[in-house]
Structure 1
Amino acid sequence: MTTARASGPLLLGVRHHGPGSARAVRAALDAARPRAVLIEGPPEGDALLSLAADEQMRPPVALLAHAVDDPGRAAFWPFAEFSPEWVAIRWALAGDVPVRFIDLPAAHSLAMAEAGTDRDEGSAEEDGPPAAVPVDPIRVLAGTAGYDDPERWWEDVVEHRAPGSGEAAGPLAAFAALGEAMTALREVYGDGGHPRDAVREAYMRVQLRTAAKEFGDDFAVVCGAWHVPALRTRTTLTADRALLKGLPKAKAELTWVPWTHQRLARHSGYGAGIESPGWYQHLFAAPDRPIERWMTKVAGLLRDEDRFVSSAHVIEAVRLAETLAAMRGRPLAGLSETTDAIRAVMCEGSDVPLALVRDRLVVGSTLGEVPDTAPAVPLQRDLTRQQRTLRLKPEAGERETEFDLRKETDASRSRLLHRLRVLGIGWGEPAAGRGSTGTFRESWRLRWEPELYVRVAEAGVWGTTVLSAATARAESDALAATALAEVTALAERCLLADLPAALPVVMRALADRAALDTDVGHLADALPALARTLRYGDVRSTDTTALGEVAAGLAERICVGLPPACTGLDADGAEALRRQVDGVHTAIGLLAGAVPSSADGLRERWRAVLHKLAVRDSVAGVIRGRAARLLLDDGHLDQDAAARLMGLALSPGTPPADAAAWIEGFVGGAAGGGMLLVHDERLLALVDSWLTGVPADTFTDVLPLLRRTFSAYEPGVRRTLGDLVRRGPAPAGSPGNGPAGGGTTAPGFGPVLDTARADAVVPVLRLLLGLDEHPATAEPEAPDAPAHPGRPATAAPARHDDPHLGETA
């Protein structure tokens, strides 16, 4: 802190968000007892300062300013409990002392940001522009003092100064020296690469003159230390007003919003942030024995994560941190010393648990709170009400949650999150939940960011409630959409968000776009969203008859136009169309159940399309392979036909790249392709013989495609395939060929089903299913009296020395 009281007001130059500066400010205010306190911040926030004393106000919080005509233009002025400005505000309110903001008004800051002369965030965050700052005064001073780390220098000089004896002289003297250093820096560097500072400081000087007329020199000013020399400079009122003349201006509204410790951290992108807000909060709240208390917090966190940490670890970590501080010549162990001690003593030298300590404690996930009486747009008030009603509290940390849509509360939560997504408020993102084929379960990944308050303010133009705003936004998006896929995705969102009033507009737009769009790719992109919409509409008891008719019409047009569209494609185009074929296949399966009137005809037409794609040579290999695979999975292509198609695709006359593309289409991806090769030795043998026959000069060309194909398999599938290939084919007549014999197969496989060995499992299955009343005494069936007509009698129990025992079973 910098003090200058001999000829003027008490100037307290601070560093934003510093616990040492905050304690020093409080001590100086207690000693001087000024008649008024002036704070660096937007003057429009003066009407909101009284809320800082409300019991519901819990830092970190921020002043949010946004332009009335464009809420997206916004600025934040954050405050933590350990911010010197916040301490000064609370001190003034507690003592009934007038307190005011004196920085450049937000109306000018927002207008200058629009004109490209300033950044979007507020000045209390950063005393300069967002680009690389030519001069970092703290770094220059640290380098002058022989420090290579400016944060460590600041901690040693200010933050780690004990608040005990000599508080009236020690800290003030240190900050007085800092003020002199800043004066010297300003003489050398001028504005230090911050051209807007001249305007800001001119406005602050005008405000100081106004305060002097009212309070004389008996008032205190809390501002960034960089500004103190400029506020001391004697200028004329005329000169200062000349700098302010002609500034752009925009109508602005301000309110308090919760902030987070993550947003105070420097790595979040705010230049005036701090690297360790959780650590600074600890230093401010625990001035006595801070290291011991910190190590206890860390031990508690690690214990909660099931790591063994005892009181002996805490004692040893404290001793090591203090020893390191003494060796490094520091007045108190800082964050670097405590971190090194925690790593060595509690984390056994590992950085993995140390990362948890940083995330949870050094940075922290604290989310502030603001009073209900704080100004807010009507949409924000409705959202807050619903959050409380549904017990869906915003949290700074990311968490995953799951909703059961059969329960009314969970269904309402889902609707709220989907409506916010329609409005562009990304509080929640759908996540891949636990495996389930049902449509009644939804998984979400929730994370509340302070910027979402800006998004809410922007969305306020659509309505005063979440429902009305989402409805109006959906209708507007439907009319503005130019692509069919955009409208179909919007229809899906409307069903998920339960926006019945918007559906007629969306359906009209959907019908118009579908009638005009002739691109098969666009139709294929649009159909899956419609099919999912029908599926969810059934779960949510929504009438989707009209939607089903449009979807069936799209499917018919895709069946007609898809075969010609699959010819003459390059590799990228073929892969894109392969994904579209997958989507259409899944969508038609859903439509067959959602639109019963056209189910059979739609299935038959799609099956015919897949047959055309599978056998037509002009179709790209990856699409031919995928079509064959889809037919095989649905039971419309037998194993012999599949093996014949693979043999043709992998014949010597086929270029290796085309053959590899066919393999990728047929067995690529993680959807069971590997298991298909595991259980069908003919397909595996075909792939193996083709691969071993690829010429060396072309093998490197097909290797990336094959690696992408097989890397998607689960580790167990890859291991089994490797074992089968390593064992190699078994000669004809070997036990691996089964009773049918005749052929070369992989061990453990047979060309036909070995019914005798399969029947050996029947007694065990009957026992497990409880089909035999007295399994222990049941007589074995006679060999000449089979239990099932057309099937051989039950074989004798397999011998333990049978080389295939357990392989086939």
Structure 2
Amino acid sequence: MTTRIYGIRHHGPGSAKSLRAALDEFDPDTILIEGPADADPLVALTASAEMIPPIALLAYVAAEPAKAAFWPFAVFSPEWQAMQWAAEHEVPAKFCDLPASQTLDIKDRHREKGDPLEDLAAAAGYDDAERWWDAIVESTSDAGTFDALNEAMASLRESTTIDERTLQREAYMRQTMRKALKDGSERLAVVCGAWHAPALNQLGPAAHDARLLKGIPKTKTSLTWVPWTHSRLATSSGYGAGITSPGWYHHLFTETDKPITRWLTKVARVLRTEDLPVSSAHIIEAARLTETLAAMRSRPLAGLSEVTEATRAVLCDGDEVLLELVSARLVVGEKLGAVPEETPTVPLDADLRAKAKTLRLNQEAAARKLDLDLRKDNDLAKSRLLHRLRLLGIGWGTVTASEVRSTGTFRESWTLEWQPEYAVAIVEASMWGTTVLAAAEAKVLDQANRDDATLGDLTKLLEKALVADLTNVLASLLKLVESAAALDHDVAHLLAAIPPLTRTIRYGDVRGTDATALTRVTDSLLVRISAGLPSAVTSLDDDNAAEMRRLIDDAHGSVMTRDDHEASEQWLTTLHSISHREDVHGLLIGRIVRLLRDADRITQQDSEARLSRALSVGAEPAAKAAWVDGFLSGGGLLLVHDRQLLRLIDDWLSGLGEQDFTDALPLLRRTFGSFDQGERQAVGQAVRDPNNDNKPTTATTLDEERGKTATKAVLEILGVS
């Protein structure tokens, strides 16, 4: 019986090539691979043509899916190549590390401190362990490197304290090796991290390993394969065994003919997509520089550092921003793997895959825009699916501002970006149901029936249920909203409920939803708000006044957007009744006066007279500043166009004493700081030149030739002949 230990680096293309050569030479009859032993039933799936790396083993605690772990594999991972070799040669392959059932539920996981490869790199004159490994190992594919690495690691281990968890893992690997030999293996190959290789060279007594493994707790776990991405293999993602350049490693492994030239060609292609002038001459010169740098450094093949320096100097002209673009697109890359349909999964995941396939929604790692027209059945179905997933905590899609100019409610824009971690979120969400629809409905009802659910919470849930088309729960949610509204006497809660209900009514038509019941509830809330708001705004401090202003602003916008005459009239009448009162915080009165002015409920002269009274001598400076803040919040163009208003505020500010100005300054700074830059510039110009009313001058003569040219250009833009 012969046993060979192949110490590799996880996700190393050089290790993968060397391993393939070594396996061809050794021709083993059994292969053991570092990985959770309870995943053995899943190894057979790696032979499927539909299994496309990068992929990962996912293990999670059945009772608590949030407790999960991933074991990623790329096409250039030595472990993946070992599984592929086994499948091609019909040789059994098994995992040999501690089962996930014995590692997932451990609260205190001891990890080795530091990277032992750093000592080897430092001894060789490198300041970075990955650069050393890339130069010494990844640039070659010699099967003989394994013996040298095992010897080097053995020397390192002699001066390093090994933690208990590592010792237990290695004991389990040795026990697995003993079992394979006992089962009749004559040529056993073991593929493991280089750090563990010296510990597996000699099996030693089994009793010692049994003592190390005794008493390790177990928990019930489930395992499956899930798609993974190159960016999640990167060290920057937080992956402990990550690498800095998965895209580069993938290229090295898959492009065996002229890898440097082909890589630089890819770089040029990326830069050309940004409209940068990169020619074939640039590529040739960059390739020459790369080879020169490798020769100067006595490297058998140029590595990433040489290629990066050549890219910076020749293709990017020293521009670090462009170099970062190349790094993100190519050096790290964004490639999403795939798993076969027969991969074990929870029913919810199977339903999601089926629906996504029907709707032609592809899971992609790179973010992409999706503009939907809700008048189209297929687009409406996509919208509903994405909204249901958001309710379940699966953020595949994020609603974004539309790039399609439209004032209608039938447009909806999303940014889609699939993250591998959503596999865990799907497992967690499966507790609510076996389909996306059933799970979303069950979760919404659970949230709605909680004891601490407020009226605002319920109305937001109602809005989300509508856009997700959860028709089976809408009736229940409406009853809960009506009950909560009848029992809730807090005007602030009633105000908070108006915007989501109004949006629900507004979007109900395009989504084909009957909004009659929603209208009834909204109207009843507005009646109660109109009755309770006058007393609710009395004697508020600064913080509560600011919060009430926000609620009034949101409710006002919703009521006016609804465009219902009776509702608008009722709301504006309520605001008008409050605007004359002296016992209401200036922040609220100023805001209400501004809203009434914008709605043409009071005249320009009336609003100016009220501002003049508010800035009279009898009021405190802070109260005056609060009134101004309320009146001007939301935009400064009013001051540009109403010079009388500007003069009132300017005269008041000019007349403030030093201490009064200091007291009012923070609030005024917040007010004017909310204006955009153009508005602030226009207000400043108006103060500097009070005699200029900004009215456009009228031309005394008409230039017909210029007019014809402009008209012709407009007609061409509009496509009118």
Same fold (TM over 0.5): yes
Deviations 1:554-594 (A, max 9, x none): 2222223333333444443332222111111122234553x
SS at match of 2:472: coil
1:723 is aligned to: 685
State the shift of 1:615 in Å.
3.5
> Is 1:484 aligned to residue 455 of structure 2?
yes
> Residue 486 of structure 2: which of 515, 518, 523 is its match?
515
2:623 is aligned to: 658
Q: Aligned equivalents of 2:313 and 2:588: distance in 1?
A: 57
> Is 1:638 aligned to residue 609 of structure 2?
no
Q: Aligned equivalents of 1:657 and 1:318: distance in 2?
A: 69
Is the 1:399–1:445 contact (alpha carbons within 8 Å) kept by the matching residues of 2? yes
2:641 is aligned to: 679
* Distance change in 2, residues 1:343/1:698 (3 Å): farther
SS at match of 2:336: coil
Letter in structure 2 aligned against 1:272: A
State the shift of 1:536 in Å.
1.6
> Is 1:147 aligned to residue 118 of structure 2?
no
State the shift of 1:286 in Å.
1.8
SS at match of 1:630: helix
SS at match of 2:365: coil
1:469 is aligned to: 439
> Is 1:377 aligned to residue 371 of structure 2?
no
* Distance change in 2, residues 1:248/1:341 (3 Å): same
Is the 1:61–1:80 contact (alpha carbons within 8 Å) kept by the matching residues of 2? yes
State the shift of 1:154 in Å.
1.2
Deviations 1:154-191 (A, max 9, x none): 11111122x4xxx344xx2xx43332232233222222
SS at match of 2:108: coil
SS at match of 1:219: strand
2:254 is aligned to: 285
SS at match of 2:343: coil
Q: Aligned equivalents of 1:217 and 1:706: distance in 2?
A: 85
Q: Aligned equivalents of 2:579 and 2:126: distance in 1?
A: 71
Q: Aligned equivalents of 2:304 and 2:666: distance in 1?
A: 47
1:242 is aligned to: 211
SS at match of 2:222: strand
Q: Aligned equivalents of 1:195 and 1:576: distance in 2?
A: 56
Is the 1:555–1:588 contact (alpha carbons within 8 Å) kept by the matching residues of 2? no
- Quick check: 660-669 or 23-32, which moved more? 660-669
State the shift of 1:63 in Å.
1.1
Q: Aligned runs of 1:443-462 on 2, under 5 Å?
A: 443-462=413-432
Q: Aligned equivalents of 1:710 and 1:329: distance in 2?
A: 64
Larger Rg: 1
> Residue 311 of structure 1: which of 259, 280, 305 is its match?
280
Is the 2:52–2:337 contact (alpha carbons within 8 Å) kept by the matching residues of 1? yes
State the shift of 1:331 in Å.
4.2
Q: Aligned runs of 1:672-751 on 2, under 5 Å?
A: 673-697=635-659, 699=661, 702-727=664-689, 729-730=690-691, 746-748=692-694
SS at match of 2:361: coil
Between 1 and 2, higher relative CO (CA 8 Å, sep ≥ 6) is seen in 2
State the shift of 1:676 in Å.
1.7
State the shift of 1:21 in Å.
0.9
Q: Aligned equivalents of 2:43 and 2:221: distance in 1?
A: 17
1:98 is aligned to: 92
State the shift of 1:664 in Å.
2.8
SS at match of 1:402: strand
Q: Aligned equivalents of 1:659 and 1:139: distance in 2?
A: 66
Is the 1:36–1:215 contact (alpha carbons within 8 Å) kept by the matching residues of 2? no
Is the 2:30–2:185 contact (alpha carbons within 8 Å) kept by the matching residues of 1? no
Letter in structure 2 aligned against 1:686: L
2:326 is aligned to: 357
SS at match of 1:87: helix
State the shift of 1:466 in Å.
1.3
Deviations 1:123-170 (A, max 9, x none): xxxxx64xxx52311223222333211111111111122x4xxx344x
State the shift of 1:760 in Å.
9.3
* Distance change in 2, residues 1:318/1:582 (3 Å): same
State the shift of 1:758 in Å.
8.9
Letter in structure 1 aligned against 2:607: A
Q: Aligned equivalents of 2:443 and 2:65: distance in 1?
A: 16
Q: Aligned equivalents of 1:208 and 1:477: distance in 2?
A: 51
* Distance change in 2, residues 1:706/1:293 (3 Å): farther
> Residue 400 of structure 1: which of 354, 369, 380 is its match?
369
Q: Aligned runs of 1:253-332 on 2, under 5 Å?
A: 253-328=222-297, 330-332=299-301
Q: Aligned equivalents of 2:579 and 2:296: distance in 1?
A: 75
> Is 1:44 aligned to residue 9 of structure 2?
no
SS at match of 2:183: helix
2:715 is aligned to: none
Deviations 1:83-103 (A, max 9, x none): 010011001100111100111
Deviations 1:217-244 (A, max 9, x none): 5111111111122223544322322222
Q: Aligned equivalents of 2:28 and 2:608: distance in 1?
A: 92
* Distance change in 2, residues 1:515/1:53 (3 Å): same
Q: Aligned runs of 1:153-172 on 2, under 5 Å?
A: 153-161=132-140, 163=141, 167-169=142-144, 172=145
SS at match of 1:102: strand
Q: Aligned equivalents of 1:168 and 1:61: distance in 2?
A: 26
SS at match of 2:334: coil
* Distance change in 2, residues 1:759/1:316 (3 Å): closer
Q: Aligned equivalents of 1:699 and 1:312: distance in 2?
A: 66
- Quick check: 687-696 or 423-432, which moved more? 687-696
* Distance change in 2, residues 1:348/1:625 (3 Å): farther
Work out the number of aligned pairs and report it: 703
Is the 1:59–1:258 contact (alpha carbons within 8 Å) kept by the matching residues of 2? yes
Q: Aligned equivalents of 2:517 and 2:91: distance in 1?
A: 67
Letter in structure 2 aligned against 1:564: S
State the shift of 1:346 in Å.
1.9
Letter in structure 2 aligned against 1:66: Y
* Distance change in 2, residues 1:51/1:565 (3 Å): same
State the shift of 1:698 in Å.
5.0
> Is 1:108 aligned to residue 102 of structure 2?
yes
Q: Aligned equivalents of 1:414 and 1:635: distance in 2?
A: 38
Q: Aligned runs of 1:121-270 on 2, under 5 Å?
A: 129=111, 133-161=112-140, 163=141, 167-169=142-144, 172=145, 175-191=146-162, 194-216=163-185, 218-270=187-239
SS at match of 1:111: coil
> Is 1:410 aligned to residue 379 of structure 2?
yes
State the shift of 1:668 in Å.
2.1
SS at match of 2:224: strand
2:581 is aligned to: 616
* Distance change in 2, residues 1:712/1:210 (3 Å): same
SS at match of 2:103: helix
> Residue 22 of structure 2: which of 25, 28, 33 is its match?
28
Gaps of 5+ in 2: 709-721
SS at match of 1:410: helix
Q: TM-score, normalised by structure 2?
A: 0.92
Is the 1:59–1:80 contact (alpha carbons within 8 Å) kept by the matching residues of 2? yes
Q: Aligned equivalents of 1:606 and 1:759: distance in 2?
A: 45
Is the 2:7–2:193 contact (alpha carbons within 8 Å) kept by the matching residues of 1? yes
1:534 is aligned to: 505
Is the 1:60–1:368 contact (alpha carbons within 8 Å) kept by the matching residues of 2? yes
Q: Aligned equivalents of 2:202 and 2:24: distance in 1?
A: 27
* Distance change in 2, residues 1:711/1:343 (3 Å): farther
Is the 2:369–2:414 contact (alpha carbons within 8 Å) kept by the matching residues of 1? yes
Q: Any runs of at least 4 consecutive aligned residues in structure 1 with deviations exceeding 6 A, and if so which?
A: 757-762
Is the 1:478–1:505 contact (alpha carbons within 8 Å) kept by the matching residues of 2? no
Is the 2:29–2:186 contact (alpha carbons within 8 Å) kept by the matching residues of 1? no
State the shift of 1:209 in Å.
0.5
State the shift of 1:749 in Å.
5.8
Q: Aligned runs of 1:744-759 on 2, under 5 Å?
A: 746-748=692-694
